[in-house]
Each structure stands twice: as C-alpha cells, then as structure tokens.
Structure 1
Amino acid sequence: MKKDQVVNCQFSVWYPLFKKHTIKRKWSELIPGAEFRCFVKENKVIAISQRDYTQHYQHIAKQEASISSSILGFFRDHIQYRFPDEDFVLDVYRDSSGRVWLIDFNPFGEVTDSLLFTWEELTSGKHLTASQTQEDTTLQDGPAFRYTTSEVTVQPSPCLSYRIPRDFLDLTTGEDAYKIIDFLKLKKGQQEEESSDEEEDES
C-alpha cells in the first residue's frame, strides 16, 4: 500500500488492512501545557519533552520534578514491560491533580517528531542532558527533561497557519498514516518471531 492511497482516502484499499486495528479515542479538551512526549529505549524512559514546544509554560519549570516523577510512576505501573516493543514513544497528559493519562503510542524513529530533542541524540546511546548546551558528561538522575524555558525561545506553531486540529494536519501530510503502518509492521514482525520461536521449541 502506498502513502498516497492512505492520504487520498482510497477506502477500498486501506480499510481491509486496518479494520482489525481500529482504535477510537474519546475526545477530551486538553491543556497543551500539560502534554508531554516520552522516549522509551530498552524499556526505560530516556527523555521527556514538552509536547507544545512552541509556547512557554511557567508551571513546567516550577513543577519539573513532580511532573517527571508522576510520568515515571505512571510508566512503571502501567506501561513498562507491557508494550510489545522495548523501544517506542508515548504521549501523556498530566492533569491538575497530578494524575497522568496515556494519549498515544508512536514508533521510536524519525517518523515521529522528536520535538526538543534530535533523533541523533536519542539513538546515539550517549548520555542525554536536559539542555542541548550541556556537556554529555553532565550527571543527572532520571530521563532528560526538556521544555521551553523562556518567552525568547517561543516559536510560531505550524498549526496556527491552518487553524485545524493537529491530528488532521498529520493525516493530510501523511505523517499519521506512516505511524499506523510502521506500528502494524512492528507488531506483525514480532508476532512472526514469536510463532517462529514456538515452532522451533516444538521441533
């Protein structure tokens, strides 16, 4: 299946492939400053990025430690070792009471926006830092946590040019379609490996 077949909504082509994997998400009004993207490698959260990096939210700097702790606690209790792959990306939402909610999963790779990190940093295996200007030798506990630190670094959001939902923009550019395809390929490959291992054990 080609990218343009998904983007151009050729229903008869892609529906048979995805009908068994349809996921419906309940609509909720979320505060952009409470959304975070977590990068997981070998079943460990190695980095956390502010999701809406185009804006400066003062509360993130003030609550950095508690935000990180809440996210790591949620990951440990509900996600770690339960996902079919050990390298992946997840988006979460932390509400005003400190409770963390899962929003989405994404493939660990360039098809997913790395936000305030670079994929070279995330895949190099080097020690990640909270700031891109820090040395790699800087010691820190837990994952690297990056967020927009001042109004000076605020950037215009690409979504403002269209005034449309981010999910719709991803779909029209093909990004969302690629994520679905990559995830299903990943899942299928792991299922085939498991089946192969079972056959070897039986023989």
Structure 2
Amino acid sequence: MSTADATSITRRSVQPADLLRVPLWCAPTLASLAVCAGWGASIWVAVHLRADSTLHTAALFVHLASLVVGFGAVLSIDYYGILWLSGRKSLSAVVGSTAPLHLPVWAGLAGLIASGAFLHPDLSSPLTCVKLGLVLVLALNGVQAGVLHRRLAALDGRPATRSLLLWGAVSATVSQVAWWGAVAIGFLNSRR
C-alpha cells in the first residue's frame, strides 16, 4: 500500500453539511436547558423585582392572553388527537394539521412564564410552588412532544409503533394534567 493510498483511507471528505450536523439528542437537550433557564430567570425576577400597578395590570393582560393562545393551541392539538382516536382523521392528517400549532403553544407558554414574574407570585405558598413545578413540567413535556411529533411525521403514512402511541398518550396526559393543574391553582391564587 502506498502512502497516497493510506492517506486516502484515513482522510475523509468533509462536506459543509457534515460540519453543521449535530447529534439527535443535542437540540432537545439544549431546548430543555433553555426552558429551565427561562423558568429559573422568571422566578429570580419575581423574587427581586416588584412591579408597580401599571406593570402588574399589563402583565396580567399578557398572562391571560398567553393562556388563551398557548392552552387554546394545546386543546386544539388534543382535539385532533381525539379525531384520530375516533377514526375521523388519519394519523398523518393529524400530524400535518397540528404542526403549525406548536408555535402558538410555545408563544403562549413563553408569555405565561415572562408575565408571571410580574404578578407577585407568593413563593412561600406551597400551592404556588406546585404551580411553578407544573409549568416547568409542561414546558419540558413540550420539548419531548416536539421530538415525538417529528418521529410521527417521519412515518410518512406508515402505522405508528405501539411505543410511539404509548409515548403520545403519556405526553398528552402529562400536558393536560399540568395545564389544567396550573390553571386551577392560578384561579385559586387569584381569589386571595
């Protein structure tokens, strides 16, 4: 074997796309870290900043509007899931129809987290701490739901595996429990 042959064996042609390719786990991990950082920053702001009445009123409006946008999109996604379960829509149609709804879910969630920092949350209340935990759970659940959505879209009309269907059921259940739990606690806290 000549030196040229050895060099050609060990030297691999690197394409520009290869330089941009990251492991599959990297994006969800970074997204999860960003979610945790945003959640933590919101709590830090809530502890260290007192909003005046004007900012509080604006934050309350943003909070309620974000709830409508984010939770409304989540309920729409789950409604499409019910249409699939009842046989009225194919899985590929549901996956295609719900893809655009991820943006309003995340926009609503980001608005809720950002505006919630200015609503004077009582961090000494166990109920408030549970609500904050539910918000973190639903945000992290949203990250993995995005991964699930991409895997379902990649099926391209083929039937989903039992594990993907179970993953979807658990994801939807966690989402509903976390959203409704946070809404209920928010309602109870607003009555104080």
Could you tell me the TM-score, scaled by structure 2's length? 0.30
Structure with the largest fraction of strand: 1
